[in-house]
């Protein structure tokens, strides 16, 4: 998977969100799902 970032107004890179796929779309509790890259990485870092 290729990671791309686009600069925001401060010139810092902003990571694009993960794209949902058939395997990553939840079947229950859909309101709890997030595809925000920074949130996903912070959760994985805590594990």
pLDDT in 10s for each residue of the chain, 47 residues:
455 555 555 555 567 888 888 988 888 988 888 888 888 899 999 98
Cα–Cα distance between 5 and 14 in angstroms, integer?
Answer: 5
- pLDDT for position 46: 93
Does the residue 11 lie in any domain?
no
In degrees, to the nearest 5, what angle opens at C-alpha 34 toward C-alphas 21 and 44? Answer: 95
Which residue range forms the structural domain that includes residue 31? 16-46
Does the residue 6 lie in any domain?
no
- Three-state SS sequence of 18-30: CCCCCCCCCCCCH
Cα–Cα distance between 27 and 15 in angstroms, integer?
Answer: 26
Does the residue 5 lie in any domain?
no
**DSSP reduced 3-state for 38:** helix
- pLDDT for position 45: 94
């Amino acid at each position: 998977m290729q990671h791309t970032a686009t600069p925001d107004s401060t010139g810092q890179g902003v990571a694009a969100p993960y794209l949902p796929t058939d395997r990553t779309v939840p079947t229950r509790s859909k309101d709890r799902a997030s595809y925000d890259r920074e949130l996903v990485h912070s959760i994985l870092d805590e594990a």
